[in-house]
Protein backbone atom coordinates (compact mmCIF):
# COMPACT_ATOMS: atom_id res chain seq x y z
CA UNK A 1 0.00 0.00 0.00
CA UNK A 2 1.54 3.30 -1.09
CA UNK A 3 1.35 5.96 1.62
CA UNK A 4 1.77 9.67 0.93
CA UNK A 5 1.56 12.21 3.72
CA UNK A 6 1.89 15.96 4.02
CA UNK A 7 1.49 18.72 6.59
CA UNK A 8 -0.87 21.41 5.40
CA UNK A 9 -3.27 24.19 6.18
CA UNK A 10 -6.20 25.24 4.01
CA UNK A 11 -8.73 22.91 5.57
CA UNK A 12 -11.63 24.15 3.44
CA UNK A 13 -9.75 23.56 0.20
CA UNK A 14 -8.84 20.07 1.39
CA UNK A 15 -12.46 19.33 2.35
CA UNK A 16 -13.66 20.47 -1.09
CA UNK A 17 -11.04 18.27 -2.77
CA UNK A 18 -11.90 15.20 -0.72
CA UNK A 19 -15.62 15.55 -1.43
CA UNK A 20 -15.31 16.06 -5.20
CA UNK A 21 -17.79 13.86 -7.02
CA UNK A 22 -16.76 14.99 -10.50
CA UNK A 23 -13.27 13.53 -10.14
CA UNK A 24 -14.32 10.40 -8.21
CA UNK A 25 -17.01 7.85 -8.95
CA UNK A 26 -17.75 7.21 -5.26
CA UNK A 27 -16.97 9.28 -2.17
CA UNK A 28 -17.91 8.30 1.38
CA UNK A 29 -17.02 9.90 4.70
CA UNK A 30 -16.27 6.85 6.82
CA UNK A 31 -15.30 8.46 10.15
CA UNK A 32 -15.26 11.79 11.95
CA UNK A 33 -13.62 11.20 15.32
CA UNK A 34 -13.41 13.79 18.11
CA UNK A 35 -15.13 16.45 16.01
CA UNK A 36 -18.39 18.14 17.01
CA UNK A 37 -19.40 18.61 13.37
CA UNK A 38 -20.96 15.83 11.32
CA UNK A 39 -19.43 16.98 7.99
CA UNK A 40 -15.92 17.44 6.66
CA UNK A 41 -16.02 21.20 6.17
CA UNK A 42 -17.27 21.79 9.69
CA UNK A 43 -14.68 19.40 11.14
CA UNK A 44 -11.78 21.15 9.44
CA UNK A 45 -13.17 24.55 10.52
CA UNK A 46 -12.96 23.30 14.11
CA UNK A 47 -9.33 22.28 13.60
CA UNK A 48 -8.52 25.66 12.05
CA UNK A 49 -10.25 27.55 14.88
CA UNK A 50 -8.23 25.70 17.52
CA UNK A 51 -4.99 26.24 15.56
CA UNK A 52 -5.46 30.01 15.80
CA UNK A 53 -4.58 29.75 19.46
CA UNK A 54 -1.11 28.61 18.35
CA UNK A 55 1.52 29.73 15.85
CA UNK A 56 1.02 26.62 13.74
CA UNK A 57 -0.07 27.27 10.14
CA UNK A 58 0.04 23.67 8.87
CA UNK A 59 -2.46 22.43 11.41
CA UNK A 60 -3.52 19.31 9.48
CA UNK A 61 -1.72 16.13 8.50
CA UNK A 62 -3.14 14.46 5.40
CA UNK A 63 -2.40 10.84 4.48
CA UNK A 64 -3.47 8.95 1.34
CA UNK A 65 -3.48 5.14 1.27
CA UNK A 66 -3.43 3.48 -2.17
CA UNK A 67 -3.38 -0.34 -2.31
CA UNK A 68 -2.45 -2.22 -5.51
CA UNK A 69 -5.03 -2.02 -8.28
CA UNK A 70 -6.09 -5.67 -8.05
CA UNK A 71 -6.20 -5.79 -4.23
CA UNK A 72 -9.55 -6.05 -2.42
CA UNK A 73 -8.89 -4.19 0.83
CA UNK A 74 -11.71 -4.06 3.38
CA UNK A 75 -12.65 -1.05 5.49
CA UNK A 76 -11.31 -2.84 8.57
CA UNK A 77 -7.92 -3.35 6.88
CA UNK A 78 -7.78 0.32 5.90
CA UNK A 79 -8.62 1.24 9.51
CA UNK A 80 -5.83 -0.98 10.87
CA UNK A 81 -3.32 0.63 8.49
CA UNK A 82 -4.50 4.11 9.52
CA UNK A 83 -4.32 3.21 13.24
CA UNK A 84 -0.77 1.94 12.72
CA UNK A 85 0.20 5.13 10.89
CA UNK A 86 -1.35 7.17 13.70
CA UNK A 87 0.81 5.42 16.30
CA UNK A 88 4.02 5.70 14.29
CA UNK A 89 3.46 9.38 13.50
CA UNK A 90 2.66 10.31 17.09
CA UNK A 91 -0.92 11.39 16.36
CA UNK A 92 -2.59 9.09 18.90
CA UNK A 93 -6.02 10.29 19.95
CA UNK A 94 -6.00 13.39 17.74
CA UNK A 95 -9.25 14.37 15.93
CA UNK A 96 -9.37 12.33 12.72
CA UNK A 97 -11.39 12.06 9.51
CA UNK A 98 -11.39 9.11 7.08
CA UNK A 99 -12.76 9.36 3.53
CA UNK A 100 -12.98 6.60 0.93
CA UNK A 101 -12.64 7.29 -2.79
CA UNK A 102 -13.21 5.07 -5.81
CA UNK A 103 -12.02 5.94 -9.29
CA UNK A 104 -11.47 3.78 -12.38
CA UNK A 105 -12.33 0.71 -10.35
CA UNK A 106 -9.65 1.41 -7.73
CA UNK A 107 -10.39 2.15 -4.10
CA UNK A 108 -8.19 4.27 -1.86
CA UNK A 109 -8.54 6.13 1.41
CA UNK A 110 -7.63 9.51 2.86
CA UNK A 111 -7.04 10.12 6.56
CA UNK A 112 -6.68 13.63 7.95
CA UNK A 113 -5.66 14.48 11.53
CA UNK A 114 -5.65 17.74 13.44
CA UNK A 115 -2.08 18.27 14.64
CA UNK A 116 -3.13 20.62 17.44
CA UNK A 117 -3.23 19.04 20.91
CA UNK A 118 -6.10 20.92 22.58
CA UNK A 119 -4.83 20.05 26.08
CA UNK A 120 -1.43 21.72 25.60
CA UNK A 121 -2.28 24.01 22.64
CA UNK A 122 0.79 22.81 20.78
CA UNK A 123 1.20 21.09 17.43
CA UNK A 124 2.26 17.46 17.37
CA UNK A 125 5.75 17.28 15.78
CA UNK A 126 5.97 15.39 12.46
CA UNK A 127 9.70 14.75 12.26
CA UNK A 128 10.86 12.07 9.78
CA UNK A 129 7.27 11.27 8.80
CA UNK A 130 8.25 10.28 5.24
CA UNK A 131 10.72 7.69 6.48
CA UNK A 132 8.16 6.32 8.94
CA UNK A 133 5.53 6.02 6.20
CA UNK A 134 7.93 4.19 3.88
CA UNK A 135 8.62 1.69 6.68
CA UNK A 136 4.91 1.17 7.29
CA UNK A 137 4.25 0.84 3.55
CA UNK A 138 6.92 -1.85 3.29
CA UNK A 139 5.38 -3.72 6.22
CA UNK A 140 1.92 -3.60 4.61
CA UNK A 141 3.21 -5.01 1.32
CA UNK A 142 4.90 -7.87 3.18
CA UNK A 143 1.88 -8.52 5.40
CA UNK A 144 -0.54 -8.82 2.47
CA UNK A 145 1.88 -10.58 0.12
CA UNK A 146 1.61 -7.86 -2.55
CA UNK A 147 4.35 -7.27 -5.10
CA UNK A 148 6.43 -4.43 -3.70
CA UNK A 149 7.33 -1.42 -5.88
CA UNK A 150 11.06 -0.97 -6.42
CA UNK A 151 11.14 2.43 -4.74
CA UNK A 152 9.72 0.96 -1.52
CA UNK A 153 11.68 -2.29 -1.59
CA UNK A 154 14.94 -0.40 -1.93
CA UNK A 155 15.54 3.29 -1.42
CA UNK A 156 16.72 5.04 -4.57
CA UNK A 157 15.13 2.49 -6.92
CA UNK A 158 12.09 4.61 -7.71
CA UNK A 159 10.61 4.07 -11.15
CA UNK A 160 11.95 6.96 -13.26
CA UNK A 161 8.74 6.98 -15.30
CA UNK A 162 6.68 8.04 -12.29
CA UNK A 163 5.35 11.57 -12.57
CA UNK A 164 4.35 14.45 -10.35
CA UNK A 165 0.88 15.94 -9.93
CA UNK A 166 1.84 18.92 -12.12
CA UNK A 167 3.04 16.60 -14.89
CA UNK A 168 -0.14 14.52 -14.64
CA UNK A 169 -2.33 17.63 -14.86
CA UNK A 170 -0.38 18.92 -17.85
CA UNK A 171 -0.70 15.57 -19.63
CA UNK A 172 -4.40 15.39 -18.77
CA UNK A 173 -4.99 18.73 -20.49
CA UNK A 174 -3.28 17.33 -23.59
CA UNK A 175 -5.09 13.98 -23.30
CA UNK A 176 -1.77 12.15 -23.04
CA UNK A 177 -0.14 9.76 -20.63
CA UNK A 178 2.97 11.49 -19.16
CA UNK A 179 4.78 8.14 -19.02
CA UNK A 180 4.96 8.04 -22.82
CA UNK A 181 7.00 11.24 -22.96
CA UNK A 182 9.18 10.22 -20.03
CA UNK A 183 9.99 6.84 -21.56
CA UNK A 184 10.94 8.43 -24.91
CA UNK A 185 13.09 11.20 -23.38
CA UNK A 186 14.88 8.83 -21.00
CA UNK A 187 15.60 6.48 -23.89
CA UNK A 188 17.13 9.39 -25.85
CA UNK A 189 19.18 10.40 -22.79
CA UNK A 190 20.61 6.92 -22.32
CA UNK A 191 21.43 6.55 -26.03
CA UNK A 192 23.30 9.88 -26.38
CA UNK A 193 26.49 11.24 -24.85
CA UNK A 194 26.42 14.88 -25.95
CA UNK A 195 24.05 17.78 -26.44
CA UNK A 196 23.93 17.50 -30.26
CA UNK A 197 23.30 13.74 -30.11
CA UNK A 198 20.60 14.19 -27.50
CA UNK A 199 18.92 16.95 -29.53
CA UNK A 200 18.88 14.77 -32.66
CA UNK A 201 17.50 11.80 -30.73
CA UNK A 202 14.71 13.99 -29.33
CA UNK A 203 13.84 15.25 -32.78
CA UNK A 204 13.38 11.66 -33.94
CA UNK A 205 10.50 11.53 -31.42
CA UNK A 206 9.00 14.87 -32.42
CA UNK A 207 10.49 16.77 -29.46
CA UNK A 208 12.97 19.65 -29.32
CA UNK A 209 15.52 20.93 -26.83
CA UNK A 210 15.28 24.59 -25.84
CA UNK A 211 16.38 27.13 -23.24
CA UNK A 212 13.77 27.76 -20.58
CA UNK A 213 13.18 31.17 -19.08
CA UNK A 214 13.82 30.04 -15.50
CA UNK A 215 14.12 26.26 -15.66
CA UNK A 216 17.33 25.80 -17.66
CA UNK A 217 16.89 23.06 -20.24
CA UNK A 218 13.35 22.31 -21.39
CA UNK A 219 11.72 20.08 -23.97
CA UNK A 220 9.01 21.20 -26.36
CA UNK A 221 6.78 18.59 -27.93
CA UNK A 222 5.05 18.85 -31.30
CA UNK A 223 2.05 20.54 -29.64
CA UNK A 224 4.23 23.32 -28.26
CA UNK A 225 3.92 22.11 -24.65
CA UNK A 226 6.94 22.88 -22.46
CA UNK A 227 8.40 20.23 -20.13
CA UNK A 228 11.26 20.65 -17.66
CA UNK A 229 14.07 18.32 -18.79
CA UNK A 230 15.49 17.58 -15.28
CA UNK A 231 11.99 16.75 -14.07
CA UNK A 232 11.26 14.44 -17.00
CA UNK A 233 14.59 12.66 -16.50
CA UNK A 234 14.27 12.57 -12.72
CA UNK A 235 17.72 14.19 -12.39
CA UNK A 236 19.11 17.27 -10.70
CA UNK A 237 19.65 20.39 -12.80
CA UNK A 238 23.41 20.26 -12.21
CA UNK A 239 23.56 16.68 -13.55
CA UNK A 240 21.80 17.74 -16.75
CA UNK A 241 24.12 20.73 -17.17
CA UNK A 242 27.15 18.49 -16.65
CA UNK A 243 26.31 16.69 -19.91
CA UNK A 244 24.53 19.36 -21.95
CA UNK A 245 26.24 22.54 -20.75
CA UNK A 246 24.47 25.61 -19.41
CA UNK A 247 22.12 25.79 -22.41
CA UNK A 248 22.79 29.47 -23.25
CA UNK A 249 23.38 28.59 -26.90
CA UNK A 250 20.01 26.87 -27.23
CA UNK A 251 17.04 28.67 -28.79
CA UNK A 252 14.41 30.17 -26.52
CA UNK A 253 11.00 28.60 -26.02
CA UNK A 254 9.33 31.25 -28.15
CA UNK A 255 11.84 30.86 -31.01
CA UNK A 256 11.45 27.08 -30.92
CA UNK A 257 7.68 27.32 -31.02
CA UNK A 258 7.80 29.70 -34.00
CA UNK A 259 10.17 27.44 -35.90
CA UNK A 260 8.06 24.42 -35.03
CA UNK A 261 4.92 26.18 -36.28
CA UNK A 262 6.59 26.79 -39.64
CA UNK A 263 7.50 23.13 -40.01
CA UNK A 264 4.10 21.83 -38.93
CA UNK A 265 2.45 21.78 -42.36
CA UNK A 266 -1.36 21.80 -42.68
CA UNK A 267 -1.25 18.12 -43.65
CA UNK A 268 0.61 17.18 -40.46
CA UNK A 269 -1.69 19.31 -38.31
CA UNK A 270 -4.69 17.62 -39.92
CA UNK A 271 -3.16 14.20 -39.27
CA UNK A 272 -2.68 15.04 -35.57
CA UNK A 273 -6.21 16.43 -35.28
CA UNK A 274 -7.74 13.36 -36.95
CA UNK A 275 -5.89 11.08 -34.55
CA UNK A 276 -7.24 13.02 -31.56
CA UNK A 277 -10.79 13.13 -32.95
CA UNK A 278 -10.81 9.38 -33.49
CA UNK A 279 -9.69 8.76 -29.92
CA UNK A 280 -12.20 11.24 -28.47
CA UNK A 281 -15.11 9.51 -30.23
CA UNK A 282 -14.08 6.14 -28.84
CA UNK A 283 -13.63 7.61 -25.36
CA UNK A 284 -17.07 9.25 -25.51
CA UNK A 285 -18.75 5.87 -26.03
CA UNK A 286 -16.97 4.32 -23.06
CA UNK A 287 -17.50 7.45 -20.96
CA UNK A 288 -21.26 7.19 -21.48
CA UNK A 289 -21.21 3.55 -20.36
CA UNK A 290 -19.14 4.54 -17.32
CA UNK A 291 -21.57 7.33 -16.40
CA UNK A 292 -24.57 5.00 -16.53
CA UNK A 293 -22.73 2.38 -14.47
CA UNK A 294 -21.63 4.97 -11.89
CA UNK A 295 -25.18 6.27 -11.39
CA UNK A 296 -26.50 2.72 -11.08
CA UNK A 297 -23.82 1.81 -8.54
CA UNK A 298 -24.45 4.98 -6.52
CA UNK A 299 -28.18 4.21 -6.41
CA UNK A 300 -27.42 0.67 -5.22
CA UNK A 301 -25.22 1.92 -2.41
CA UNK A 302 -27.72 4.59 -1.38
CA UNK A 303 -30.50 1.99 -1.19
CA UNK A 304 -28.33 -0.33 0.89
CA UNK A 305 -27.45 2.55 3.24
CA UNK A 306 -31.16 3.40 3.70
CA UNK A 307 -32.06 -0.23 4.37
CA UNK A 308 -29.24 -0.59 6.87
CA UNK A 309 -30.26 2.61 8.66
CA UNK A 310 -33.85 1.40 9.05
CA UNK A 311 -32.67 -2.00 10.26
CA UNK A 312 -30.22 -0.45 12.72
CA UNK A 313 -32.87 1.91 14.13
CA UNK A 314 -35.33 -0.96 14.63
CA UNK A 315 -32.69 -3.16 16.31
CA UNK A 316 -31.58 -0.28 18.55
CA UNK A 317 -35.14 0.33 19.72
CA UNK A 318 -35.63 -3.38 20.42
CA UNK A 319 -32.46 -3.54 22.47
CA UNK A 320 -33.36 -0.38 24.40
CA UNK A 321 -36.73 -1.95 25.32
CA UNK A 322 -34.91 -4.74 27.13
CA UNK A 323 -33.62 -2.28 29.74
CA UNK A 324 -36.43 -1.61 32.23
CA UNK A 325 -36.89 1.79 33.88
CA UNK A 326 -38.18 2.98 37.21
CA UNK A 327 -38.27 0.61 40.22
CA UNK A 328 -37.94 -2.44 38.01
CA UNK A 329 -34.84 -0.92 36.41
CA UNK A 330 -33.40 -0.20 39.87
CA UNK A 331 -34.00 -3.82 40.91
CA UNK A 332 -32.26 -5.00 37.73
CA UNK A 333 -29.24 -2.90 38.65
CA UNK A 334 -29.15 -4.24 42.19
CA UNK A 335 -29.39 -7.87 41.07
CA UNK A 336 -26.85 -7.40 38.25
CA UNK A 337 -29.36 -8.21 35.49
CA UNK A 338 -29.02 -4.70 34.05
CA UNK A 339 -25.29 -5.14 33.37
CA UNK A 340 -25.89 -8.52 31.74
CA UNK A 341 -28.57 -7.15 29.41
CA UNK A 342 -26.40 -4.13 28.61
CA UNK A 343 -23.42 -6.35 27.76
CA UNK A 344 -25.67 -8.46 25.55
CA UNK A 345 -26.96 -5.34 23.79
CA UNK A 346 -23.42 -4.05 23.17
CA UNK A 347 -22.35 -7.42 21.76
CA UNK A 348 -25.37 -7.52 19.45
CA UNK A 349 -24.79 -3.94 18.35
CA UNK A 350 -21.17 -4.76 17.49
CA UNK A 351 -22.25 -7.85 15.57
CA UNK A 352 -24.83 -5.76 13.71
CA UNK A 353 -22.21 -3.17 12.71
CA UNK A 354 -19.87 -5.90 11.50
CA UNK A 355 -22.67 -7.56 9.53
CA UNK A 356 -23.59 -4.31 7.84
CA UNK A 357 -19.94 -3.55 7.06
CA UNK A 358 -19.67 -6.99 5.45
CA UNK A 359 -22.83 -6.37 3.41
CA UNK A 360 -21.44 -3.03 2.27
CA UNK A 361 -18.09 -4.60 1.37
CA UNK A 362 -19.75 -7.39 -0.62
CA UNK A 363 -21.74 -4.85 -2.64
CA UNK A 364 -18.60 -2.78 -3.26
CA UNK A 365 -16.65 -5.86 -4.37
CA UNK A 366 -19.38 -6.84 -6.84
CA UNK A 367 -19.53 -3.35 -8.26
CA UNK A 368 -15.74 -3.10 -8.51
CA UNK A 369 -15.62 -6.34 -10.46
CA UNK A 370 -18.14 -4.94 -12.94
CA UNK A 371 -16.24 -1.64 -13.12
CA UNK A 372 -12.95 -3.50 -13.64
CA UNK A 373 -14.31 -5.16 -16.78
CA UNK A 374 -15.14 -1.74 -18.21
CA UNK A 375 -11.73 -0.44 -17.15
CA UNK A 376 -10.08 -3.15 -19.27
CA UNK A 377 -11.74 -1.58 -22.31
CA UNK A 378 -10.48 1.86 -21.26
CA UNK A 379 -6.93 0.52 -20.89
CA UNK A 380 -7.10 -1.21 -24.25
CA UNK A 381 -8.22 2.03 -25.88
CA UNK A 382 -5.49 4.01 -24.13
CA UNK A 383 -2.87 1.48 -25.23
CA UNK A 384 -4.05 1.79 -28.80
CA UNK A 385 -3.89 5.54 -28.53
CA UNK A 386 -0.41 5.29 -27.03
CA UNK A 387 0.79 3.18 -29.94
CA UNK A 388 -0.78 5.57 -32.46
CA UNK A 389 0.73 8.61 -30.73
CA UNK A 390 4.17 7.01 -30.55
CA UNK A 391 3.99 6.13 -34.23
CA UNK A 392 2.78 9.66 -34.98
CA UNK A 393 5.72 11.08 -33.04
CA UNK A 394 8.09 8.88 -35.02
CA UNK A 395 6.50 10.03 -38.27
CA UNK A 396 6.87 13.64 -37.19
CA UNK A 397 10.47 12.97 -36.27
CA UNK A 398 11.17 11.43 -39.67
CA UNK A 399 9.47 14.36 -41.39
CA UNK A 400 11.40 16.95 -39.37
CA UNK A 401 14.66 15.15 -40.05
CA UNK A 402 13.85 14.94 -43.77
CA UNK A 403 12.78 18.59 -43.93
CA UNK A 404 16.05 19.80 -42.44
CA UNK A 405 17.98 19.52 -45.68
CA UNK A 406 15.25 20.41 -48.17
CA UNK A 407 15.85 24.13 -48.33
CA UNK A 408 19.45 25.37 -47.91
CA UNK A 409 18.49 28.86 -49.05
CA UNK A 410 17.62 32.07 -47.22
CA UNK A 411 14.68 30.57 -45.34
CA UNK A 412 16.93 27.91 -43.83
CA UNK A 413 19.54 30.54 -42.97
CA UNK A 414 16.91 32.56 -41.16
CA UNK A 415 15.85 29.44 -39.25
CA UNK A 416 19.48 28.76 -38.31
CA UNK A 417 19.91 32.38 -37.22
CA UNK A 418 17.16 31.86 -34.68
CA UNK A 419 19.43 29.31 -33.06
CA UNK A 420 16.92 26.48 -33.17
CA UNK A 421 18.76 23.24 -32.47
CA UNK A 422 16.87 21.22 -35.06
CA UNK A 423 19.75 21.03 -37.53
CA UNK A 424 22.23 19.32 -35.26
pLDDT in tens, the chain (424 residues): 899 999 999 999 999 999 998 889 999 999 999 999 999 999 999 999 999 999 999 999 999 999 988 888 999 999 999 999 999 999 999 999 999 999 988 899 999 999 999 999 999 999 999 999 999 999 999 998 888 887 776 654 444 445 454 544 544 545 555 567 777 788 888 888 888 888 888 877 778 888 887 657 888 876 778 888 888 888 888 888 888 888 788 888 888 887 777 666 666 666 666 767 777 777 888 888 999 999 999 999 999 999 999 999 999 999 988 888 888 778 877 888 888 888 999 999 999 999 999 999 999 999 999 998 898 888 888 777 777 776 666 666 666 555 554 343 443 333 333 333 333 3
Q: What is the pLDDT of residue 214?
A: 66
CA distance 108 to 75: 10
Where, residue-wise, is CATH 3.30.930.30 in the chain?
Answer: 2-153
Q: What is the pLDDT of residue 137?
A: 93
For residue 323, how many other CB atoms are within 10 A of its CB? Answer: 15
Query: C-alpha distances in angstroms, 381 versus 76, 197, 317, 387?
Result: 35, 34, 53, 10
Q: What is the DSSP letter of 162?
A: -
The backbone torsions φ and ψ at residue 107, rounded to the nearest 5 degrees and listed phi first, read -115, 130
Query: C-alpha distances in angstroms, 362 versus 169, 228, 260?
Result: 34, 45, 54
Q: What is the pLDDT of residue 324?
A: 81
CATH top class, domain 2-153: alpha beta
Long-range contacts of 366-370 (CB under 8 A, 24+ apart): 367/297, 367/300, 367/301, 368/72, 368/102, 368/105, 368/107, 370/293, 370/297
Q: What is the pLDDT of residue 334?
A: 83
DSSP-based three-state secondary structure for 114: strand
Q: What is the 3-state secondary structure (H, E, C) of 179-239?
A: HHHHHHHHHHHHHCCCHHHHHHHHHCCCCEEEECCCCCEEEECCCCCEEEHHHHHCCCHHH
Task: Describe the strand order of the beta sheet including 60-66 as a list of residue ranges.
Answer: 2-8, 60-66, 106-114, 96-103, 26-33
> Nearest to residue 118, comparing CAs of 45, 47, 36, 42?
47
Q: What is the pLDDT of residue 241?
A: 86
Q: What is the pLDDT of residue 92?
A: 93
Annotate 4-55 with DSSP letters as a single string. EEEEE--HHHHHHHHT-SSS-SEEEEEEEES-S-SSHHHHHHHHHHHHTTSS
Query: C-alpha distances in angstroms, 48 versus 6, 45, 207, 382?
Result: 16, 5, 47, 42
Amino acid sequence: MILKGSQRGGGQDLAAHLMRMDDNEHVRVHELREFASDNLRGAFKEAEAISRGTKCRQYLFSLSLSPPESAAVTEAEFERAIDDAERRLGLDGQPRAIVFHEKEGRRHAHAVWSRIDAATMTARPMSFFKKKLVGLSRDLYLEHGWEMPRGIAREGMRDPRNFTLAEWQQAKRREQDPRWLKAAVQSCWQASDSAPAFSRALEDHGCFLARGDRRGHVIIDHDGEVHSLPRVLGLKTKDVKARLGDGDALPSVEATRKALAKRMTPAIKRHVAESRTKFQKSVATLAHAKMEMTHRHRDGRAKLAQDQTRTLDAETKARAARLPKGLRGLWHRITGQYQKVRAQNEAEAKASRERQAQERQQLIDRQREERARLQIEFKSLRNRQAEELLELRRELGRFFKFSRGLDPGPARKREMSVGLGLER
